[in-house]
Amino acid sequence: MNFQDIIPGHIRAIQPYKPGKPIEEVERSLGVKAIKLASNENPWGPSPKALNAVRKHLEAGNRYPEDTAFYLRTRLAEHYKVDVDEIIIGAGSSEILGMVFHALINHEDEVLTSEGSFVLYYWFAQIQAANLVALPLRDYGFDLAAMGENLSSKTRLVLLANPNNPTGKIIKRTDLDKFMKMVPDEALVIFDEAYVEYVQDPDFPDSIEYLNEGRSVLILRTFSKAYGLAGFRVGYGLGCPQLIEILNKVRPPFNAPSLAQVGALAAFDDEGHVSKCVKENGVERDFLASELEKRAIMNIPSEANFILLDLGLPAEEAFGRLMQMGVIVRPMHGAGFPTMIRVSVGTHEENKLFLKALDQIR
């Protein structure tokens, strides 16, 4: 059987998601010592309390996980002062995003978002053959005025990354309030806040206020970034009980492994570790930005744990030359930035190694 002859055309056209190259692959293929600054991971690692909790739970590995992640959801509900039925757990927040598309979106619906944002938005829309309306960025951020003008009776989903990946820009409270007044009740607004813990701008909006007002919203957050649990794959969403009930219809059984639940619960309660990681990230992000300015390298001020910068070289070329020296970054030509790369904020030593390699390729 030739599978290419039987799959739908919109599936045939999909380019599979390509994650950042793993350190092991680069070291094995190039014979160099490598550092990875490509996937916006927390270089300071998980909370020691989370690791201890996971170790204690290893002997229960023969049992299926608690399907509803009851204890983790209860703790999150307590923290955010919402009902436990307003929370869903996923294998990363991206799995919950996929649930939304599977449960709510078909080929006749419009999905409104921006160009130059998280690649999975476009990927999921293509899988569902949805009508994707992606508008140009404005000053490397979401153009909410233009998005408001493009809302229609067919708009079923609005995707807002805040901060935006890969630019690091945020949507501010006043701008978001104006936009939300324009959104029809039939449209679900998703606030993708994977990097929310890193934000320092006081004008960053509190999206949970919209949930408490009864608006049609879903707030996505994750333990993959500031909490340092990317390898555990656990994220969560906050929405009204009716929406969460619908998403649970398409949620795979046992989608949150036991060790992920235990680790996330302990990590969430270790506020000191998260605060330390966020503080270190801020210091190192400022250091990188300052050093890039000294080198007259254009970069976008970021509220996340990465920086988008323009080397004036084709992104793939810059990526390849840096990788030859053992520094793995993310080329951004596929996101509409042909000469830009995204570099994750690393430890001070990693950042210095990146800058040293950068000086050698310019």
Is the pLDDT at 110 greater than 90? The verdict is: yes
Tell me the CB-side half-sphere exposure of residue 131, using CA atoms within 13 A. 10
What pLDDT score was predicted for residue 281?
98
Q: What is the pLDDT of residues 21-31, one digit of tens each?
A: 677 777 677 67
What's the rounded Cα separation, in Å, for the pair 167 and 307? 7
Instruction: Supply the pTM of this predicted model.
Output: 0.94
The third-level CATH classification (topology) of the domain covering 48-269 is Aspartate Aminotransferase; domain 2 (3.40.640)
3-state helix, strand, coil in the chain (%, to 5): 45, 15, 40
Mean pLDDT (whole number) for 289-301: 97
Q: Which two tokens stand for residue 353?
A: 């190694």
- Does the structure show a pLDDT above 90 at 20? no
Return residue ranges of the chain for CATH 3.40.640.10: 48-269
pLDDT > 70 fraction of the chain, expressed in percent and rounded? 94
Share of the chain above pLDDT 90, in %: 88
Q: The CATH number of 3-45+272-361 is which of 3.40.50.20, 3.40.250.10, 1.10.10.10, 3.90.1150.10?
A: 3.90.1150.10
Q: Give the Cα-Cα-Cα angle 275, 280, 285 (nearest 5 degrees).
A: 125
Tokens of 132: 């994707």
Going by pLDDT thresholds of 50, 70 and 90, the confidence category of residue 305 is very high
Q: Residue 107's pLDDT is what?
A: 85
pLDDT of residue 3 exceeding 70: no
More confident residue, 153 or 29: 153
Taking only the tens place, the pLDDT of each residue in 130-146 is: 999 999 999 999 999 99
Residues of the chain with CATH 3.90.1150.10: 3-45+272-361
Query: Is the predicted pLDDT of residue 12 greater than 80, yes or no?
Result: no
pLDDT of amino acid 224: 98
Q: What is the pLDDT of residues 163-216, one digit of tens each?
A: 999 999 999 999 999 999 999 989 999 999 999 999 999 999 999 999 999 999
For the segment 302-309, the average pLDDT, to the nearest whole number, is 98
Residue 22: the pLDDT is 75
- Residue 333: per-residue pLDDT: 95
- Tell me, what's the pLDDT at 143? 98
pLDDT of residue 11: 72
7, pLDDT greater than 90:
no
pLDDT greater than 90 at residue 301: yes
pLDDT, tens only, 206-246: 999 999 999 999 999 999 999 999 999 999 999 999 999 99
